[in-house]
């Protein structure tokens, strides 16, 4: 269900220069609802490094830090001929606040809340161009909307880009020569160092600015009206990540909207991990009845025996195992036969195991063939399709994605795109799209680069902050029997929680899983989550993530490099002491299972071996107030974030504010009338409890100030 509240009142400023209306200069600052992110858009030439191409530009700040420096905005068109210079006509603004549910993902309930600015310009040939900018509390986005008297237009170049601060640490992915599958590695550089610029260009790209902001660049709402874009880095301006089209010209009918250019922005890497911004920028759900869509775990035979998909007997064995494990599906990869797939479907139905089947995209490209094949799958009782080797970002291939997922929904089939483009938020519109590959996953243990140990522990520890941060990732995890892996078995097991995918295809063989001490966890771990929280970590070093399903919190971590103790707090969990099975490293590369008492009122510390990992489950730990109101903020600028510094929790008849900031700080509680209800100087860990009887109805504001921390949160009673 979607509920929407549109508000039209928020502060803005627009400055018009002393020029005629067609040549006027302006500056407009758009602020996110809670004031954490601000976007300034300007049209001028003075001091504009891109003025030779376009005089329209933007910048973004996170608190006092410049997260994105002045960056160009604009288009170059061949039909009609347009060089990038726009004439300003008008502006309008609005606020968006809507909530909706997701079938799969990081969170089952999401809130799309932002302020939006629309700047309208005239261009050549009777075209009007809207530049639409949104400011979210966890980022910003912009797109172009073309309309006017013309029926069609053609874009030859986007003059848009993101200019990142010099000195930023960045993690960027190599582009793959030939096919576009997004399966290369992410490499770490410092912006300003020598970079082989021609090797890189895939979204997403992650940055940590010298001022302490975290920024993830990507795009959203890509469909067949456009193409999936990349970025280019020029030799003469290496800080500018310029939007690059996947083909020479993209044509579309008017009115026409480009994809959103997206920057997820926060003061902690937790903002990157937890954000659902990419999905929020996509259109609402296009399926009226989603009750038939079932996320789930799948037994998959191809990885452990790539001849097995041609054997009915082998697939029945995997159905038996999926049934015993409580998993929802079995995936039959390349080599299956129509002659026996119906028998397998019936066999699986008796055991409540659905059957997914593999197709080469080329066999589904022609509309008539696609329609007949998907209809046959539905009639045969198949539950979904894995569509492989799509390998292109062009506009024609985006049209294929659109048609396939739409027609699959009409036939009640779930979809997994493999050999695919990057996920760009589509499952909000099409929740039957449960996962996409676009990652160097476990299959690479079997390929030509196995001597390098890819996927490496370091790459695994980058993915939660990059590829998996934007959406579901068909990594096919938990490859215990990979002989070339550098990870421990506990690291592999933890991937079942750390990596999110609406279809989680577990790679290894039934006997390997059944013999593992981690098998009880694999039997219960879900594939769709109610909430996701970042616990601790640093890209390429380690990552600890907590995910909730129902009343249980699953907490897991993976490590790269030497042994370390992961220390974190769990303020979003129901406070108390829990008895849990800890799946951890045994010191020999395997898994040790032990019972431990976990006290969520303090710091939780878990040891990880070199390239190791851990996982545990806290049952009965769901607290609705903590789950929705707990807030993360860095302990101090420049300090590695190992805990959540501020937590605001609703209790019976009260609010409790818990603060843990090094040094002195001040806490203020302000009610809707502007009255200061509490003003307290403190040091270390302190808790302030405010009784509801002291609060007037409406909005309260919690303010914490200390050292480098400047934090405020509104609390709204519904």
**Residues with a known catalytic role:** 388, 443
Q: Cα(334)–Cα(337) distance, rounded to whole angstroms?
A: 9
- Three-state SS at 353: coil
**DSSP state string for 384-445:** EEEEE-----SHHHHHHHHHHHHHHHHTT-EEEE-S-PPP-SGGGT-TTEEEE--S--GGGG
Q: Which residues, including other chains, have CB under 8 Å from residue 437's CB and lie 6 or more apart? A: 181, 182, 183, 416, 417, 418, 419, 420, 473, 474
User: Contact at 8 Å (CB) between 470 and 435?
Assistant: no
Q: Cα(252)–Cα(41) distance, rounded to whole angstroms?
A: 26
Q: Cα(319)–Cα(97) distance, rounded to whole angstroms?
A: 44
154: number of CA atoms within 13 Å, CB side?
Answer: 8
Angle at which helices 338-350 and 367-380 cross, to 10°? 40
Q: Which helix (H) or strand (E) holds 516?
A: none
Q: Which residues, including other chains, have CB under 8 Å from residue 649's CB and lie 6 or more apart? A: 571, 623, 625, 626, 629, 630, 655, 656, 657, 658
Q: Cα(310)–Cα(86) distance, rounded to whole angstroms?
A: 59
Residue spans of alpha helices (H) in 161-311: 269-274, 277-280
4: phi then psi, degrees, rounded to nearest 5: -135, 135
Q: Look up residue 335 and give its two tokens.
A: 């080599």
Q: Look up residue 434 and give its two tokens.
A: 């449960």
Strands 503-506 and 296-300: parallel
Q: Which residues, including other chains, have CB under 8 Å from residue 348's CB and lie 6 or more apart? A: 319, 322, 330, 354, 355
> Which of 123, 129, 127, 142 has the alpha carbon at shortest distance from 40?
142
Q: Which residues, including other chains, have CB under 8 Å from residue 179's CB and lie 6 or more apart? A: 391, 392, 419
Residue holding tokens 């007949």?
372
List Cα–Cα distances, 472 to 10, 282, 497, 499, in angstroms: 35, 15, 12, 8
49: phi then psi, degrees, rounded to nearest 5: -65, -15
Q: Cα(38)–Cα(59) distance, rounded to whole angstroms?
A: 8
Q: Look up residue 505 and give its two tokens.
A: 């295809």
List Cα–Cα distances, 175 to 198, 199, 203, 336, 656, in angstroms: 9, 6, 9, 32, 48
Q: Cα(396)–Cα(250) distance, rounded to whole angstroms?
A: 10
User: Contact at 8 Å (CB) between 37 and 140?
Assistant: yes
């Amino acid at each position: 269900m979607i509920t929407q509240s549109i508000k039209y009142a928020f502060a803005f400023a627009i400055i018009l220069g002393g020029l005629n209306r067609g040549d006027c200069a302006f500056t407009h600052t758009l602020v996110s609802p809670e004031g954490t992110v601000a976007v300034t858009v300007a049209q001028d030439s003075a001091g504009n490094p891109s003025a030779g191409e376009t005089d329209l530009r933007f910048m973004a700040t996170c608190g006092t830090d410049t997260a994105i420096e002045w960056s160009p905005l604009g288009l170059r068109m061949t039909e009609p001929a347009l060089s990038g210079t726009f004439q300003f006509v008008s502006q309008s603004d609005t606020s968006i606040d809507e909530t909706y549910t997701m079938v799969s993902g990081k969170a089952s309930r999401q809130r799309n809340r932002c302020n939006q600015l629309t700047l309208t310009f005239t261009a050549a040939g009777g075209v009007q161009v809207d530049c639409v900018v949104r400011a979210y509390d966890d980022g910003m986005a912009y797109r172009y909307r073309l309309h006017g008297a013309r029926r069609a237009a053609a874009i030859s170049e986007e003059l848009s880009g993101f200019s990142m601060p010099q000195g930023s640490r960045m993690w960027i992915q190599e582009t793959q020569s030939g096919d576009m599958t997004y399966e290369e590695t992410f490499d770490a550089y410092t912006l300003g160092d020598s970079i082989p610029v021609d090797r890189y260009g895939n979204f997403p790209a992650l940055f940590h600015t010298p001022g302490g902001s975290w920024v993830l660049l990507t795009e959203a709402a890509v469909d067949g009206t456009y193409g999936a874009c990349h970025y280019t880095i020029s030799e003469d301006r290496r800080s500018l990540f310029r939007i690059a089209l996947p083909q020479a010209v993209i044509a579309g009918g008017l009115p026409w909207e480009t994809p959103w250019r997206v920057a997820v922005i926060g003061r902690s890497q937790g903002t990157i991990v937890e954000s659902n911004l990419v999905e929020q920028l996509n259109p609402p759900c296009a399926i009226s009845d989603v009750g038939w869509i079932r996320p789930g775990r799948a037994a998959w035979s191809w990885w452990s025996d790539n001849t097995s998909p041609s054997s009915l007997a082998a697939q029945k064995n995997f159905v038996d195992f999926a049934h015993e494990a409580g998993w929802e599906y079995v995936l039959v990869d390349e080599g299956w036969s129509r002659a026996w797939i119906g028998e397998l479907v019936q066999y699986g139905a008796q055991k409540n195991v659905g059957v997914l089947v593999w197709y080469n995209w080329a066999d589904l490209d022609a509309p008539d063939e696609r329609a007949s094949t998907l209809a046959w799958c539905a009639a045969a009782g198949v539950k979904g399709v894995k569509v492989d080797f799509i390998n292109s970002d062009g506009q024609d291939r985006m049209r294929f994605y659109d048609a396939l997922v739409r027609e699959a929904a009409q036939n009640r089939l779930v979809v997994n795109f493999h050999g695919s483009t990057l996920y760009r938020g589509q499952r909000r519109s099409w929740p039957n799209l449960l996962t996409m590959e676009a990652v160097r996953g476990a299959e690479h243990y079997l390929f030509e680069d196995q001597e390098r140990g890819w996927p490496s522990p370091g790459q695994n520890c980058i993915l939660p902050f990059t590829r998996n941060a934007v959406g579901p990732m068909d990594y096919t995890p938990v490859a215990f029997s990979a002989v070339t892996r550098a990870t421990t078995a506990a690291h592999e097991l933890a991937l079942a929680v750390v990596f999110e995918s609406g279809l989680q295809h577990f790679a290894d063989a039934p006997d390997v899983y059944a013999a593992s001490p981690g098998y009880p966890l694999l039997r219960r771990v879900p594939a769709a989550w109610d909430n996701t929280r970042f616990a601790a970590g640093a890209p390429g070093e380690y990552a600890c993530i907590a995910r909730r399903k129902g009343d249980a919190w699953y907490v897991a971590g993976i490590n790269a490099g030497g042994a370390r103790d992961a220390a974190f707090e769990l303020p979003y969990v129901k406070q108390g002491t829990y008895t849990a099975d800890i799946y951890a490293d045994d010191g020999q590369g395997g898994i040790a299972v032990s019972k431990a008492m976990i006290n969520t009122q303090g710091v939780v510390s878990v040891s990880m071996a070199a390239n190791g990992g851990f996982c545990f489950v806290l049952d009965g730990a769901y607290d609705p107030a903590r789950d929705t109101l707990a807030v993360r903020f860095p302990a101090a600028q420049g300090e590695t974030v190992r805990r959540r510094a501020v937590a605001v929790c609703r209790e019976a008849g009260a609010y409790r504010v818990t603060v843990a900031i090094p040094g002195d700080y001040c806490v203020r509680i302000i009610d809707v009338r502007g009255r200061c209800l509490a003003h307290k100087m403190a040091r270390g860990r302190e808790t302030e409890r405010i009784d509801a009887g002291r609060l007037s109805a409406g909005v309260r504001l919690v303010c914490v100030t200390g050292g480098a921390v400047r934090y405020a949160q509104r609390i709204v009673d519904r």
